[in-house]
Amino acid sequence: MFFFYGPRFADNKVYELNDTATVLKHPKFDTNRPTVLYLHGYLESMEVESIQVIADAYLARNDHNILILDWAELADGNYLIDAFPNLKPLASALAACILKMAMDGLRLDKFHVVGHSMGGQLAGYIGREVIKQSEKGAKLKRITALDPAFPGFYFPLKFTGALNSKDADFVDVIHTDAWLYGAPFATGHVDFWPNRGKTLQPGCPKRNYKMLTDNDLCSHRRSWRFWAESVTEKNRPSFHAVKCSSWDKFKAGDFDKSEPVVLMGIDCPSG
Active site residue 64: no
- Residues near 175 by Cβ (< 8 Å), separated by ≥ 6? 147, 182, 183, 184, 191, 192, 193, 194, 197, 198, 223
Q: What are phi and psi of 37, to 5 degrees?
A: -110, 120
3-state DSSP call for residue 2?
Answer: strand
Candidate list 40, 112, 117, 175, residue with the active-site label:
117
Q: In the chain, helix, strand, coil percent, each to 5?
A: 35, 20, 50
Beta bridge partners of 4: 67
3-state DSSP call for residue 184?
Answer: coil
What does the buried/exposed string (b/e) look like for 130-147 if buried means 16 or more CB atoms within 10 Å of the residue's CB? bbeeeeeeeebbbbbbbb
3-state DSSP call for residue 113?
Answer: strand
Neighbours of 64 (CB within 10 A): 21
- CA–CA separation, 189 and 165 (whole Å): 6
Candidate list 70, 112, 116, 147, residue with the active-site label:
147
Active site residue 254: no
- CA–CA separation, 171 and 258 (whole Å): 23
Active site residue 240: no
Give me the active site residues, please. Answer: 117, 147, 220
